[in-house]
Amino acid sequence: MNLTIENILLVGSILLFISIVVGKTSYKFGVPTLLLFLAIGMLAGSDGIGGIRFDDPKLAQFIGIVSLNFILFSGGLDTNWDTVKPILREGLLLSTLGVLLTALSLGTFVWFVTDFTIYESMLLGSIVSSTDAAAVFSILRSKSLALRTNLRPTLELESGSNDPMAYVLTLAFLTLVIHQDKSVYSIIPLFIQQMALGAAGGFAFGKLSKLVINRISLGFEGLYPVLVIALMFITFSATDFVGGNGFLALYICAVYLGNQDLIHKKTILKMFDGLAWLMQIVLFLTLGLLVFPTHIIPYMGIGLLISLFLIVVARPVGVFISLMFFKMRLRRRFYISWVGLRGAVPIVFATYPLLAGIEKADIIFNIVFFISVTSILIQGTTLTVVAKWLGVAIPEQAKKLTPTDLLLSDNPKTIMREISVGSQCFAANKKIVELGFPKNAIIAMIKRGDKYITPSGSTKIEDEDTLIVLTDKMKILDEVYKTLKIEEELQV
């Protein structure tokens, strides 16, 4: 069946509905949802029962890049800087040196066991060198499993920040495959340019985005997530336009914004959480439609061999060498090695050789797809088992909530105070978003004369207002008084 304008919405909505329902039930069996989305796309494709013929790598790449924008940005917004800061060096080394070592070791193995050239082998290794955070933590949450100490933020930081490195390596080795007269040293300037401009663009657009969000007055709360979407795409495309790494800029910008006080932040976070799920489903369905299962069968043997080497050798080599300078228990290193789940990102990156028209592009794409699927099956279904076996798992009930969790939670706080604002108070004539209010406290209501106002981040506090503040701990209430520069005893 060929998709037309008349039936594309019907078919798309049916596939989306099936994916959501099946994905929900898959939690009970520990099957990663992305595998179900891929399978549904493959069943609906030309080799499946749906018979939908979709063979457009360029469109698939476009959908993939747009989807990755939302997924990476949402992940960055959810990253708590206070949690990530203690393990920043470990996470960054894993997402840079770890990815590089994984790509090089796997590429060397591919060169030995196939008839690929050294650059083609390194290209394949680069494509599958990054991990998938969304797949990892969807499984952990489905099994009510949390991880000890700083293991979870380490994995989150690595998974959220290692795609830019894999992207740069993919572009670099693809260039060497196309222009075989160039030396490997010629890609070093490209690497430096991509990472430097990407990091600079991320910080610059992060600060600019915060200024725009908090200063602009849109009048409607629902427009603020739309504004952030526009700023997200500007960050990615503008950085890419000047030769920087758009994915890196996007992630840095999102991490910065996620740890700032923004107008209607709760609405923005909830909106992006839903959009990230939507884009994840759309991305996996698209990639499932793009692949032809009958084309993968001839490469199952070599694909399984490469996948096993990646899981058992290449990933552990990258992890253990990257973390050799840090104090960390051996079992935690082993678990980080095992959480090397490959998802949709490698499949998106595998479309670049297809569009470039290199000789072995089809073979690379089919092997990469098989590697992603086997990684999901082998590692994805055993993450909780391995976590418990290595003793790095704790019950979900014992997990501490992050500020983002608290912000998105609908549970009421247990401690309430009414705080009067005088003319000399720090908060007078300031917007709530400008106060730097503690993360675990909220201004639930403002009493102004005989009226009660439900505030937002853009609400300006006036002289003689009474703030009704809710929090869950007395020490947070102390922080509130310090923020407002009010002596607590004056309020009694």
The confidence score (pLDDT) of residue 315 equals 94
Residue in 238, 220, 221, 242 with CA at minimum distance from that of residue 230: 238
d(CA 347, CA 367): 10
- Six-digit token pair at 469? 């503040």
Cα dihedral 389, 333, 155, 22 sign: negative
CATH number of 8-398: 1.20.1530.20
Phi-psi region of 50 (alpha: psi -120 to 50; beta: other; left: phi over 0): alpha
d(CA 413, CA 436): 19
> Which DSSP symbol is given to 52?
B
CATH architecture label of 412-491: 2-Layer Sandwich (3.30)
Residue with tokens 């709760």: 266
The confidence score (pLDDT) of residue 490 equals 46
Phi-psi region of 209 (alpha: psi -120 to 50; beta: other; left: phi over 0): alpha
What are the residues facing 469 on neighbouring strands? 417, 443
Q: How many CB atoms lie within 10 A of CB 159?
A: 26
Cα dihedral 16, 21, 22, 24 sign: positive
Write the burial class of residue 108 (CB in 10 Å: 0-12 exposed, 13-18 middle, 19+ buried).
middle
- Six-digit token pair at 110? 């591919």
The confidence score (pLDDT) of residue 131 equals 86
Burial pattern 460-483, b for ≥16 Cβ within 10 A else e, equals ebbeebebbbbbeeeebbebbbee
Residue in 237, 69, 95 with CA at minimum distance from that of residue 155: 95
Q: What angle do CA 49, 52, 54 make, to 5 degrees?
A: 135
d(CA 421, CA 426): 8
Phi-psi region of 27 (alpha: psi -120 to 50; beta: other; left: phi over 0): alpha
d(CA 466, CA 455): 12
Cα dihedral 299, 302, 306, 311 sign: positive
Whether residue 281 contacts residue 63, with contact meaning beta carbons closer than 8 Å, is answered with no
The confidence score (pLDDT) of residue 455 equals 77
d(CA 367, CA 286): 18
Q: How many CA atoms lie within 13 A of 302 on its CB side?
A: 18
The confidence score (pLDDT) of residue 8 equals 67
CA 347, distance to chain mean position in Å, is 16
CA 387, distance to chain mean position in Å, is 22
Q: How many residues does the chain have?
A: 492
Whether residue 76 contacts residue 250, with contact meaning beta carbons closer than 8 Å, is answered with yes
Extents of the domains making up the chain: 8-398, 412-491
Whether residue 190 contacts residue 171, with contact meaning beta carbons closer than 8 Å, is answered with yes
The confidence score (pLDDT) of residue 489 equals 44
d(CA 315, CA 337): 6
User: In a structure prediction context, what are the per-residue pLDDT tens digits for the chain, which is 492 residues long?
Assistant: 555 555 667 777 777 787 677 665 555 554 566 677 777 877 877 666 767 777 788 888 898 899 889 988 988 888 888 888 888 888 889 999 999 999 999 999 999 999 999 999 999 999 999 887 666 656 555 555 566 667 878 887 888 788 889 999 999 999 999 987 788 787 888 888 999 999 999 999 999 999 999 888 887 888 889 999 999 999 999 999 999 999 999 999 999 998 888 888 888 888 888 888 888 888 888 888 888 888 888 888 999 999 999 999 999 999 999 999 888 888 889 988 998 888 778 888 999 999 988 888 999 999 998 998 888 888 877 877 888 888 887 655 444 555 555 455 544 456 777 777 776 677 777 777 777 777 777 777 888 877 778 777 777 787 777 878 887 777 777 777 777 776 654 444
DSSP assignment of 397-414, as one string?
Answer: GGPPPPHHHHHH--PPPS
Residue in 7, 24, 20, 3 with CA at minimum distance from that of residue 281: 20
Whether residue 285 contacts residue 15, with contact meaning beta carbons closer than 8 Å, is answered with yes
